[in-house]
Structures are given as C-alpha cells and as structure tokens.
Structure 1
Amino acid sequence: MIEMPEASTIARQMNETLTGKIFQHFSRGPLTHKFLWLNKPAEEFDAFVAGRQVTGAKSYGRSIFLYIDETHLNLFAELGGRILYHAQGATLPAKYHLRWDFTDDTSLTYSLQMWGFVGLLSKTDLSAPPFTDTGIPPLSDEFTFERFNQLLEEYPEKKAKGIKGFMVTSKYVFGIGNGYLQDILYRAKIHPARKIPSLSLEERSQLFSSIQGSMAEAIRLNGREDERDLFDYPGGYRRLMSSQTMGNPCPTCGTTIQKLAYLGGACYLCPTCQV
C-alpha cells in the first residue's frame, strides 16, 4: 500500500511533470476490481476533466491531490498499486484499471492492488466529512510531541489494543501503514502489542522521534524499495523489519527477527530489543 513517503514522492513528481498539461480523456482500463471505488461514473469523470488543465499536485498523509483548474481535484486515497506516467510514444501496460490521457499524447495509468479510492472532488469537499476525519500527518507543523501525546490519551481502545492499533488508525496519525510501522516500533524499542498506558513519557518521546526520523528518511529515499514511483522506479528505503529480514539477526543485538500475527496483520520484530 502507498504510505506517506510514496504519496509524497509521487505527488512531487506529478507536480513537476503534469502541471500545465490539458486533460483529453479519462477512461476505465481493461481490468476491473470490486475494491476500486470511484465517487462518480467514469463517463462523468471524462466529461468533466476533458479540456481542463492540471494546476499542480501535493500529498497529505498517504493521499495524493492532483489539482484540476482552480476549483477541483482528483483524489487518490488509501491506495494499493501503481500510478505510472507514460511519455509520448511509450507503450502502455497491457493491464491497468484507470487511464488519464493528455493532449500532448502522454498518459497516466493506475493499476490497483488490494484496494483504492479515486475521487473527483471540488476543493470545498475537502472541508467536510469524511475528508475532515483524518488524523495529522507526521512532519507537519501540527504534529508536535504535545499533540501526539494528547492523541495517544484520546485513543478509545488504548487499554484494549496495543500501540499498533493506534498507529495504523488514520484518525490519529495519518500516513503510516503496516509497512513503515515495523521499523518505527523497532527504532523506538517498543513491542507492537504494548498498551498505551504502559508507555512512559520517555518511550512516547522515543516513538515520536522514530516516526519523524523514519518518515523523513523514507521520503528522502523516495519510498520503499518494494513500491514504485511515477516513472516505475523503486524507492531506496530498505526496511529493517519485514518478511525479507525475518529469520535474520537483529542489526542491534543479533537476536533472530521474528514474525507475529497481531490485529489482523503481520508484525516483524526483535523480541529482545522491543519490549
């Protein structure tokens, strides 16, 4: 799934590459998927975007905003898969789910993996639910340690679920999924099943610093090595804790990295370092 570093990378590349282009056509591709959600029929997308200009792009958490003229945008949210740019004369992939064509004979395709939402919205839509129900992205001015600690205390299941439940709930910290969570908790030396009330102030500070540091490093490296950017290049961030490192020695203490099934997904951790 695309998380904050990948969204940041793709949005930056969209802004640099697509700004100024004129939409010619929007269409569904040869593939369909029951977990690909559009908020309008494809024909309505097409009728609206045709002849309009891309005016920029930016990311927010793990969402990507592709701006259309001064009033609307395409929202890419909760995405798994690949958003790819195709230069003039390039061969498009044989299989994809959505396609945007521009008047200069370039294109954008989206190939879904797992699930995803693509919306055609007005900018004013973003000021109402459900878009106002998301949490705070790391690295934003609003994401301070004081606010983070307040969010930890506000989490209604803090006594029932471990810190993983809080971290992957977009209502609190928006931009982190199960991919980066493993390294964040490893660097903070916190077990994913630790309950929030058991975390000391020092441990909460370590977790906050780990979030900020991990996200900054991954953005600098254009995302994870198992995800792709707008031009189909892999990111440069190699995870310390993942299915690829399970069974290897911990980089810190040498204990074997283990897999734990917890809260509906896999966690990878060092049972010695993370308590």
Structure 2
Amino acid sequence: MSLAENQVISNQLQSTVVGKTIVKVIANQNPHTFVWFATEPQYAFAAAEVSHRQAEQYEELLTGKRVEDSQVHLGSYGVYNFLYVGDRALMFSLPTRYYAVGEKPPKRHQLYLIFDDGSSLALCGSLGGAIYLFRVDEKGLAVGYPPPDAPSVLSDDFSESFFLDLIKNTDLEKLKPAKTVKCFLATNNRIPGLDNSILHEILWEAQVNPKSDMAALGEAGYKRLYAAIKKVFPAVIEAGGLDTWKDIFGKPGVYAAKVSRNTLGKPCGRCGEPIVKEPHLGGVVYYCPKCQPIHKNKKERLYDET
C-alpha cells in the first residue's frame, strides 16, 4: 500500500470510527500464514503458532476501549495506519472496510471490530500483512516501532536536495535486482510508501520509463522525478485515491490513473499512443512507449543537464 492510500484510509477512519467505543472483537477468524498478530515488538513477524496465540489477546485488550485517533506513520517496515485505542496503537497494513449500521459484514476477515453504534470495521488480508497492537510511548508512537530510514514524501524534509543526495549516495550500477528506475524508487523501502500503483503515475508525470536505467536520467531527470513525486502524492490524497483502489466504503478514488489496468491499450492522455503493459521485476509495469521511452545508456542522458 502506498502512503497516499494509507492517508486516504486514515482520513476516512477519522470521520467514521474515531470517538466510537469497541464492543466486540473477532481476531484471526480466518488464519492466514502471512498475516501477523503481535501485542509486543518481540512477537512481530513471529511463527504462525505464536502469532495465533497473540491474536487471542486482542479481544481483551480492545473490547470496551474508545478509538481516540487515526494517523499514518512510517517505519523501517514500511507504512502503517494507526488507530489509537486506549493505551495501545492498533497498527495495520491490510485492506480496510467500514460497514455502516445495517450493512452486511464480510464472511472472511482477520480482524473485525464492532462499535457501540452498530457500525463495524474489517481488516481483510488476502495477500498478507501485519496487525499489531503495541503499547504507546510518551510521543504517541508504538513502543518498539522502528523509525523510518527516510522522511515522508509529504513533509518538507523530503526536499529536492534530500532526494538528490539519496541518489548520489546509492551505487546505481549495483542496484538489485535491476538497475532500473522502478528498482530504485519502489524497492528496499528507500522511499517509504512509494509502491507500484502510484509509481506508474509519478513516472508518467515525469515522462520516465520504469525500465530505464536509473543512471541514464542524469540530474535533470532526477529533478523531474522529484517534482512528480511532490505533485502526484498530494493530488491522489486530495482526490480520495486512485480509481484503481477502493476506499473503506468500497468505492474507487476519483483520481483517474493515467497508466494502469484501466487505461491499458487506450490512448495516452498526453500524446495519444496506446498504453502498454510489460513484465518487470516479477510484476508488471504500465507506460506510454512514446512519452516514456526506455533509456539504457547512461552516457546519453534522457534530459539535458541544463
């Protein structure tokens, strides 16, 4: 999940569940090998049997407690939504669905919370994820939650100079599993919360191909990437998400993705060339072959340096 998606979820949770009291908790109804429960940091990412025992404590720790706040925090593990409940922070990185009074709840879920007004919240981790319930320290952060290695792209600390230094301090010729733009931007948590879905929009905005060598862009190209990052993230959040996502109400966002499964084969919104889809790094990438040509020779810069 991208930082933008997490922020949209947090904003919606702020207006739907904050201030409500949890009256019933169902944890780990449908056990999943790659969904982890933990009440203390030492149990994070524990083996299945340990995780399942941890889940048994969630009912006691959450029932009767009031949801005080909803936030998003970055850490070295990635991006998490935080619901502050009593003296605990419920940290999660799973698809989230809110059900108003009278709506039919899902049959399968990893954590299901019912509130005092009859509404409910379900976390459903079909692809896996973490649902931690850590104590909160004096700073309002989950105890043991490792700090991020980079600032949020939404903050002033994520400046152009920071971004250029990040590139400068990386050996681009030794990037693994590839030397490409996608590898640099969307792997190893270099930029927390920049995932594959929003990556495509950023690269379309910057007119950069995800399969280009990162070193081929040059400083002018890097600056265009930075400008696109700072433009796209706030715009997606403001629009309530991409139209390829679903929010906590089960509705898609209103930010129309330029390069996605929804636009595959359709004319590029900038030049009219059909959008293509290709495999890359174990997944797929979408791009415009005309606006975003692939560059592999670092001696021939994609952009002039001036």
TM over 0.5: yes
- Contact kept, 8 Å, 1:21 with 1:53, in 2: the verdict is yes
- Bigger shift: residues 247-256 or 231-240: 247-256
Q: Please show how residues 67-106 of structure 1 align to structure 2 within 5 Å.
A: 67-69=84-86, 71-77=87-93, 79=94, 81=95, 83-106=96-119
Instruction: Return the match for 1:236 from 247, 254, 259.
Output: 254
Amino acid paired to 2:70: A
- Contact kept, 8 Å, 2:71 with 2:82, in 1: the verdict is yes
SS in 2 for 1:259: strand
Match of 1:227 in 2: 245
Match of 1:4 in 2: 3
Q: Please show how residues 103-142 of structure 1 align to structure 2 within 5 Å.
A: 103-124=116-137, 126=142, 128=144, 131-142=146-157
Alpha-carbon deviation of 1:157?
4.9
Matched, 1:54 2:67: yes
SS in 2 for 1:235: coil
Matched, 1:177 2:195: yes
Instruction: Return the match for 1:154 from 154, 169, 178.
Output: 169
- Contact kept, 8 Å, 2:8 with 2:241, in 1: the verdict is yes
Amino acid paired to 1:233: K
Computing the radius of gyration from Cα coordinates, the structure with the larger value is 2
Number of positions where the alignment pairs a residue of Structure 1 with one of Structure 2: 269
Alpha-carbon deviation of 1:133?
4.0
CA 1:157 to 1:203, structure 2 compared with 1: closer, same or farther past 3 Å? closer
Amino acid paired to 1:179: S
Alpha-carbon deviation of 1:190?
1.2
- Contact kept, 8 Å, 1:159 with 1:197, in 2: the verdict is no
Match of 1:14 in 2: 13
SS in 2 for 1:267: strand
CA 1:109 to 1:127, structure 2 compared with 1: closer, same or farther past 3 Å? closer
Instruction: Please give the alpha-carbon distance, in whole angstroms, between the structure 1 residues aligned to 2:18 and 2:65.
Output: 11
Q: Deviations over 1:166-213 (max 9, x none)?
A: 211353211121111112111111121233333222211111111111
Instruction: Please give the alpha-carbon distance, in whole angstroms, between the structure 2 residues aligned to 1:249 and 1:91.
Output: 39
Match of 1:66 in 2: 83
SS in 1 for 2:147: helix
- Bigger shift: residues 94-103 or 46-55: 94-103
- Contact kept, 8 Å, 1:68 with 1:74, in 2: the verdict is yes
Runs (5+) with no aligned partner, structure 2 = 40-53, 294-306
Matched, 1:261 2:279: yes
Q: What TM-score comes out, normalization by structure 2 length? A: 0.80
- Contact kept, 8 Å, 2:27 with 2:58, in 1: the verdict is no
- Contact kept, 8 Å, 2:242 with 2:256, in 1: the verdict is yes
SS in 2 for 1:179: helix
User: Considering only aligned residues, what root-mean-square deviation do their CA atoms show, in Å?
Assistant: 2.2
Instruction: Please give the alpha-carbon distance, in whole angstroms, between the structure 1 residues aligned to 2:28 and 2:142.
Output: 27
SS in 1 for 2:124: strand
Matched, 1:144 2:159: yes
Q: What TM-score comes out, normalization by structure 1 length? A: 0.88
Runs (5+) with no aligned partner, structure 1 = none
